[in-house]
Structure formats: C-alpha cells, structure tokens
Amino acid sequence: MSAGHTPRFEEMLPAYALGALEGDELHELEAHLATGCDECRRQLRMWEADLEEIAASVSPMTPSAETRQRVLEATAPATQPAPARLEPRRTRSAGRRGRWGWLAAAAALALVVWSQWNVARLRQETADLAQERDRLARQVTSLQSERDLARAEAQRMAQALGFITSPGVRSIQLAGLEAAPGAAGHTFVDPRRRQAVFYASGLPALAPDQTYQLWFITDRPVSAGTFSVDGSGRGNLQVDGVADGVRTWAVTVEPSGGAPQPTGAMVLAGQA
Amino acid sequence: MSRMAAGDGDAFARLFDRHSPVALGLLHRILGGRAEAEEVLQEVFLQAWTQGSRYDGERATPRGWILMLARSRALDRLRRRDAARRRDEEAGDEQARLGISSPVGTERLEARERRDRVHSALGQLSPEQRRCIELAFFDGLTHTQIAERLEAPLGTVKSRILLGMNKLRQALRSAS
C-alpha cells in the first residue's frame, strides 16, 4: 500500500476496471496506481477476475471453420506456398480468393517474423536481466565479505583493547633502527597469561619473498612469529607462550616463512 | 501460454479451440453482427499470437486475457462505428442481447454451470444496477454517458455501479 492510499481510490476501482471512470477521477486514480500501490493493484486484479466472469457469461458460439482455418494458417510455422499457388486462377471469384490468399500468406509471414522478433527481443531482455542480476549478486557477495572483514577487524580491535587495558599488562616500546628509522612498535605483555600483542607502524614494504619476524630475547632469541605490513606500513601480531625474563623485543627482516634464528637486518628493537 | 509465447503453433490451436467460442460469444454480444464478430475474433487471436510474450500469468488467466483483448477490440470498433449503421442494426442487437444465438453443443458442463452461476449472481442485482454495469461493460460507456443514456443523475449511476459490482462479487463468492 502506498502512502497516498485512501478508501476513495478503492471505490473508484470497480468503475475503472469497467472502463466507466473518466475525467479527473480517472487521472487521479491512474496517478495513484502509477505510484505502485500494492493494495489497489491487488484489488484491481480481483475486479478484473470478476469482469472475466461477466465476459464469459455470454452464450458461446462456435467460430466458423473458415475463421478457425484463417487464424491457424496465419499462426502456423512459416511454410513455402505450393508452386501451384503461383498460377493465376481462372475464375474471377477464385482469382480474388487467390489474391486474398496471397495477402493472407504475406500477412502471416510478417506476423511470424514479427512474433519471432518479439520472442528474440524478449530472450535478449531476459539475458540482459539475468546478467544484471548476476552482477548485483556479485556486488552483494563482495559487500558482504567487506562487511565480514570489517566486523572481524572491529572484533579484533575490541579484543586487543581489552587485552591492552587489562590489569598487569606491561607496555614495551620498540624504536626504529638504522634500516627503518621511521618505524615504531609496541608490545603489550600480560605475564600472568604469558600472552602479548605487538603493533608496528612505519615499516617499509618488503619484497614478496621476505617477511618481518618478531623475536623476544631471554638468553637467546625466540621467534614470536612472522607478520606482514599493509600499504601504510602497519602490522600486528598476537603472541602466545611468552617466556619469563624477556629482556628485549626485536623485529628483523627474514626470508618468507621466517627463520629459526635471526639472519636479516634488525629494524625495530626495545628493552623490556 | 508460455509455449504459445515461444511460438508453439499446436499450443495456439488448442488455445483457439478452448477459448474462441466464449470470445466469439462476447464479440457477438458487443457488436451484434456475426460476420463482424468473426472478423474481430481473427484479429483478437492474431494479436494474442503476436503478443503472447506480453501475457502476464500473475495478472490474468489465459481466458481472461483473451476476453479482455476481445472486449477492448470490440469496444474500439463500436466507438468507430457509424451511428446510422448502429441504428440499422438495432434489431439484430436485440436478438443478440436476448441470447438468441446458436449455443455450442459440445460446451463443457462445467463452463455452463459457471455461466449459470454468473447469471444468477447478475440476477441478484437490481435491474438498474445491472443495466449500468452492462452498459459500461458491453457498450463501453463511461459514467457520464450512462447517465445520459438512462437520463439519471451522475451520482446515482456511480453508486449503482459501485454497489452493483460489490453485490456481484458477494454473489459470485457465495455461489462458488
């Protein structure tokens, strides 16, 4: 039902279906129907169904065989007329029928072409609509996955914030070294749970076969995992099983997949 | 219908055989003359054939669609018709309106019962209501034209149609 729907429109519908509505009333109702009022459309269909009953209440009459034949010939699949039909008919009346026959055949052919064109056009429209539907479906899927990613990101940030602000968590700052002077990092360690989260920013992009690797150093370096950075040089990592007595946190550049021991340039380091 | 829209000639022949008698009856009822009715019947079915893809199964039954095409064409022709010619044919019209036409022997019982139901529903209207609805439906007259024809106030005609159509609906619903 559209916003402008009133019972007055409903009262106009029977006369409209009958074709008796005219003038301002007709224009008003047509404008209202053009707004797509579902209720009026539903009711109009019901009135049209009632009118079908009135229409069908007349005494049926069988069409003449000639009428039936003409209709079915015109709608039969296009066939070549027999060559004999090309011969002029001798009698006047037959000649006239022959001409009419030719006119009918030409009209029939035109109708067949026309209807096939219509069907082809309809198929094209259907194909276009299907394409449009598929495009929209892909768009929806892509928007859904974007939304899922954003939701996951928000959840992760909420978790991280909860972690960082929980009691007993210590923060360690990592400073950019010579290889990445603009970089900075933070490790938040919860010693009780032996967990840490690490954030870095300002790290340069790496070659595809390289990765950043985070280390915590007790009496020797232990890998805390590898991470990559986004376009703006940000990366993060969640660490489980942080050892007691960590003195230093550091980040090095390593071959893709990481290394058991640091081998590459150190880009970030900070004292616990 | 969908097969017809795809240009299936056999399906179309079946459509013709099923619905042409009632369509011809309607055309005869509106136009009066048999020859003209048969002529328009051809036009209607050729139109149905070429516009099969426009048929909307949600909106109407195939019969309803054919009958509305038939009514619309017949009313167009009626409006174009010469007034003098109409007067000449009034005698024929009356015969048609009284139902003096050859009934179809092979008509299905179900269709006949359905028609009887509609007749009995129409019979429940007041003669004035029925006349107004028939003038609109079979003669294609508007509110104003009906009021002029019946020499009745416009408001009266409008309410006769509204009340009559509602009463008709009730009668059709309770009969089925």
Report which of residues B80 and A224 the model is more confident about: A224
Dihedral over Cα of A238, A243, A246, A248: its sign: negative
Q: For position B20, what pLDDT does the model report? A: 93
The position carrying tokens 């950019």 is: A176
Domain ranges in chain B? 1-98, 108-176
Residues of chain B found within 8 Å of residue A67, distances taken between Cβ atoms: 20, 38, 41-42
Mean pLDDT of chain A: 83
CB A157 within 8 A of CB A234: no
Q: For position A174, what pLDDT does the model report? A: 94
Q: For position B93, what pLDDT does the model report? A: 52
Dihedral over Cα of B86, B87, B91, B97: its sign: positive
Choose the weakest-confidence range: A28-37, A40-49, A59-68, A85-94. Answer: A85-94
From the candidate CATH numbers 2.40.30.170, 1.10.1740.10, 1.20.1050.10, 1.10.238.10, the one assigned to the domain spanning B1-98? 1.10.1740.10
Q: For position A224, what pLDDT does the model report? A: 93
If residue B106 lies in a helix (H) or strand (E), which one and from where to where?
A: none
User: What part of B 6-65 touches A (C-beta under 8 Å)?
Assistant: 6-7, 9, 12-13, 16-17, 20-22, 24-26, 28-29, 34, 37-38, 41-42, 45-46, 49-53, 59-61, 63-64
The answer to whether ipTM exceeds 0.90 is no
B17 Cβ contact list (under 8 Å, min separation 6): A68
Please tell me the distance in Å from B102's CA to the nearest CA on chain A: 6
Q: Which phi and psi (to 5°) does residue A254 adopt?
A: -130, 165
User: What part of B 76-95 touches A (C-beta under 8 Å)?
Assistant: none
pLDDT > 60? residue A97: no
Please tell me the distance in Å from A130's CA to the nearest CA on chain B: 17
Using alpha carbons, select from A242, A221, A203, A220 the residue that is nearest to residue A212: A203
Q: For position A99, what pLDDT does the model report? A: 62
Same CATH topology for B1-98 and B108-176?
Answer: no
CB B169 within 8 A of CB B114: no
Q: For position B110, what pLDDT does the model report? A: 72
Q: For position A1, what pLDDT does the model report? A: 53
Cβ contact (<8 Å) for B142 and A56? no
CB-CB neighbours of B106 under 10 Å: 7
Cβ contact (<8 Å) for B143 and A71? no
Report which of residues B75 and A129 the model is more confident about: B75
From the candidate CATH numbers 2.60.40.1930, 1.10.10.10, 3.30.720.120, 1.10.1040.10, the one assigned to the domain spanning B108-176? 1.10.10.10
Using alpha carbons, select from B100, B165, B99 the residue that is nearest to residue B132: B165
Q: How many CB pairs under 8 A join A and B?
A: 173
Please tell me the distance in Å from A33's CA to the nearest CA on chain B: 15
Q: For position A9, what pLDDT does the model report? A: 93
Cβ contact (<8 Å) for A47 and B6? no
Tell me what percent of the residues of chain A surpass a pLDDT of 90: 43
The position carrying tokens 């030409």 is: A106
Q: For position A186, what pLDDT does the model report? A: 92
* Closest-approach residue (CA) in chain A for B162: A14
pLDDT digit of tens for each residue in chain B (176 aa)?
555 555 566 778 888 998 999 999 999 999 988 999 999 999 999 888 887 777 777 778 888 989 999 999 999 888 887 555 655 555 555 444 444 344 444 556 777 788 888 888 889 999 999 999 999 999 999 999 999 999 999 999 999 999 999 999 998 888 76
pLDDT > 90? residue A96: no
B152 in contact with chain A, both atoms CB, cutoff 8 A: no
A164 Cβ contact list (under 8 Å, min separation 6): A171, A188, A197
Q: For position B29, what pLDDT does the model report? A: 93
The position carrying tokens 């071959």 is: A255
pLDDT average, residue stretch A110-115: 72
β-pairing, A170-176 with A266-271?
antiparallel
The confidence band for A231, taking pLDDT boundaries of 50, 70 and 90, is confident
